[in-house]
Structure 1
Amino acid sequence: MHIPFISADTVRERVPMTAAVDAIEQTLRDGFDTSSAHPRSSVPLDHGSFLLMPAEIAGTAGVKVASVAPDNPAVGLPKIQGLYLLFDGTTLEPTAVMEGSSLTEIRTPALSAVGIRHLAADKALNVVLFGTGPQAYHHVHAAAAVRQISTVTVVGRREEKVTDLVARLTEDGVTATASTDRTAELRDADLVLCCTSAREPLFDGSLVNDDALVVAMGSHEPDARETDDTLLSRATTYVEDVDTALREAGDVRIAVDNGTISATDLHTLGHLVNHGPVEAGGPVFLKTVGMGWQDLAVAQVAYHAEN
């Protein structure tokens, strides 16, 4: 049996951001039922855990196996590593193995960009970006794939990381600055991107203007959140899947537990893509946690680009 291995560089080469955005959106347009998606599972290990994310879409199956080793950064290794295994959906014959972190790197901001495409104002956007890591960087370029970006204001805990990201974005041709007055900048933001590991709200939700879109993707734990009840009480909220959000999305789960919103207030990306946004006042909030079907949608693009 010969099973091709698709490297991280090849995944990135074969799947430009626009192709990933289109693949995820098309999966929803084709009627994929996110409520039927297999949930992620975690398997504890002596030095960390495995995250398993299986999926099946229209004759293709796959699973991402990610290892989470908290002590790795101390020895110069990534905390999260992984592989994606792609199978024929009928025979379950393995068809490809590909590097997994590159899929996450692409599909996470691509998912956000699907929401941005349908929910953000159709104009050059003033962006406030919370976070300085890889996902923060890639989210700017994902947003730029579907909307024109006017300015990006970077907010982070460590000044040197903020400076480095501003410099990197500037080299890419993005007008980027470091935050000096978070309050004023939030009031002027058209798009707020939350790409952090924060477990408590990053800002006062009353500061977000009524026409803004807030995207939060930084956690998939029920007790961690990047946004507060004030924002959720004002916003029209979209999620990938209602049950998944209630199980994994702290931003949503905590607000529901507090009685600020109810499960019936949640709208799905599938409904958005196929029927358009609901009519409501106030800001819009998109919370994502990442689901296995998104990895599979992007993995198929990487595989079929050569086959």
Structure 2
Amino acid sequence: MPRETGSHCDDALRVVDSAALARALPVGEAVEALRAALRAGLDVAATPPRSRVPTSTGQLLLMPAEYGEHAGVKIAGVVPGNPARGLPRISGAYLLMDATTLRPTALLDGEALTLLRTSAVSALAADHLAAPDAGRLVVFGTGPQAFAHAVALHQVRPLSAVQVVGRDPQRVARFAERCEEVGMTASAAAPDAVADADLIACCTSSTAPLFDGRALPAHAAVVAMGSHDPGARELDTRTLTSGTVVVEDAATALREAGDIVIPVQEGALSAASLVPLADVVCGRHPLADGGPRVFKGTGMAWQDLVVAAAAVSGPA
């Protein structure tokens, strides 16, 4: 089957590499594609659950979905040992298909798509949860998702300062340089920087809480995307019980999100209190003041599909 990187011709499988995806769909447009899909009635709860297949070095993830004129599936490999090899922890590919015929129409870089859709979902949530004048971001992590989140959040709230918390001073310095290169003022910080933050983005593979939730300002908005493991968490119980908690889908969060599962098992957080992101975006759940607002994402197949479709042919 003929292939053209980042281009299209009749009866050809369009191959969209990372550079072509960046050209086709800036993160701000990805945010709007996701917002439009939710407001058009996309049923998040109908998304098939992620399939996980253990391998000798990690996991193989399968994430299928259908919406509108498109269907698709992401095949992703998660290998915790890859960063030590100089390789990304997550890699893969996305196959976009016509929903009626299920004929493949495009093959997208799975790593680039995951970076884009994950940061765009977090930015969409932050756009509804953060104070209108939020300008101070604390980001935990120095990897690709952490940087993608800083860029995406800058699209919905022009950031006056980015503070970076990481374990490796050299990586923190390079992260700050990259932020400066795209017009954001950035510096190294410690976890207690959350006390003065408007926005906090948790983008790590940590299995233990990154900061003390007692330090969070009442007006802060927190987004956490680091894991879909029910035994891992980036946020402590205090963070989850001090304000409003928004999730992509309650059933998915209760199955996959350790940040949610653990405090629910402790009896500290009620599953009934979880607010679906679609209800916030569509105005069905007005947000009250009086405590931090938290979004915990796990990543769902509908997000990959909506963003892939928008990149290739406009919104799904």
Alignment map for 1:178-217 (pairs within 5 Å): 178-180=188-190, 182-183=191-192, 185-217=193-225
* Alpha-carbon shift at residue 147 of structure 1 (Å): 1.0
1:170–1:176 contact (8 Å) kept in structure 2: yes
* Alpha-carbon shift at residue 60 of structure 1 (Å): 1.1
Q: What amino acid is the match of 1:121?
A: A
Aligned residue for 1:232?
Answer: 240
2:78–2:89 contact (8 Å) kept in structure 1: yes
Alignment map for 1:135-174 (pairs within 5 Å): 135-174=145-184
Specify which of 229, 241, 266 is matched with residue 221 of structure 1: 229
Q: What amino acid is the match of 1:264?
A: A
Aligned residue for 1:5?
Answer: 15
Aligned residue for 2:33?
Answer: 23
Q: Secondary structure at the match of 1:286?
A: strand
Specify which of 289, 294, 303 is matched with residue 303 of structure 2: 294
* Alpha-carbon shift at residue 292 of structure 1 (Å): 0.5
Change in 2 beyond 3 A, CA 1:78/1:131: closer
Q: What amino acid is the match of 1:128?
A: V
2:218–2:290 contact (8 Å) kept in structure 1: yes
Point out where structure 1 has 5 or more consecutive residues left out of the alignment.
Answer: none
1:105–1:138 contact (8 Å) kept in structure 2: yes
In 2: Cα distance, 1:210 partner to 1:74 partner = 39
In 1: Cα distance, 2:249 partner to 2:68 partner = 19
| Corresponding position: 1:266 with 2:270 | no
Q: What amino acid is the match of 2:300?
A: M
| Aligned sequence identity (%) | 48
In 2: Cα distance, 1:72 partner to 1:188 partner = 35
1:238–1:269 contact (8 Å) kept in structure 2: yes
Aligned residue for 1:303?
Answer: 312
1:118–1:277 contact (8 Å) kept in structure 2: no
1:120–1:191 contact (8 Å) kept in structure 2: yes
- More moved, 236-245 vs 83-92: 83-92
In 1: Cα distance, 2:201 partner to 2:82 partner = 27
Q: What amino acid is the match of 1:254?
A: I
Change in 2 beyond 3 A, CA 1:46/1:189: closer
Point out where structure 2 has 5 or more consecutive residues left out of the alignment.
Answer: 2-11
* Residue correspondences, number: 303
1:239–1:266 contact (8 Å) kept in structure 2: yes
* Alpha-carbon shift at residue 49 of structure 1 (Å): 3.0
Specify which of 122, 125, 136 is matched with residue 112 of structure 1: 122
Q: What amino acid is the match of 2:207?
A: R
Change in 2 beyond 3 A, CA 1:231/1:74: closer
Q: Secondary structure at the match of 1:192?
A: strand
In 1: Cα distance, 2:231 partner to 2:187 partner = 31
In 1: Cα distance, 2:220 partner to 2:77 partner = 36
Q: Secondary structure at the match of 1:31?
A: coil
* Alpha-carbon shift at residue 80 of structure 1 (Å): 2.4
Aligned residue for 2:264?
Answer: 256
Aligned residue for 1:177?
Answer: 187
In 1: Cα distance, 2:85 partner to 2:196 partner = 42
Cα shift readout 1:125-163 (whole Å, capped 9, x = no counterpart)? 111111111111111110111111111111111111111
Specify which of 45, 67, 75 is matched with residue 77 of structure 2: 67
* Alpha-carbon shift at residue 298 of structure 1 (Å): 0.6
TM-score of the aligned structures, taking structure 2 as reference length: 0.92
Q: Secondary structure at the match of 1:136?
A: helix
* Alpha-carbon shift at residue 166 of structure 1 (Å): 1.1
Aligned residue for 2:109?
Answer: 99
Change in 2 beyond 3 A, CA 1:259/1:175: same
Q: Secondary structure at the match of 1:149?
A: coil
* Alpha-carbon shift at residue 303 of structure 1 (Å): 1.1
Change in 2 beyond 3 A, CA 1:234/1:86: same
Q: What amino acid is the match of 2:298?
A: V
Aligned residue for 1:281?
Answer: 290
Q: What amino acid is the match of 1:82?
A: G
Q: What amino acid is the match of 2:28?
A: T
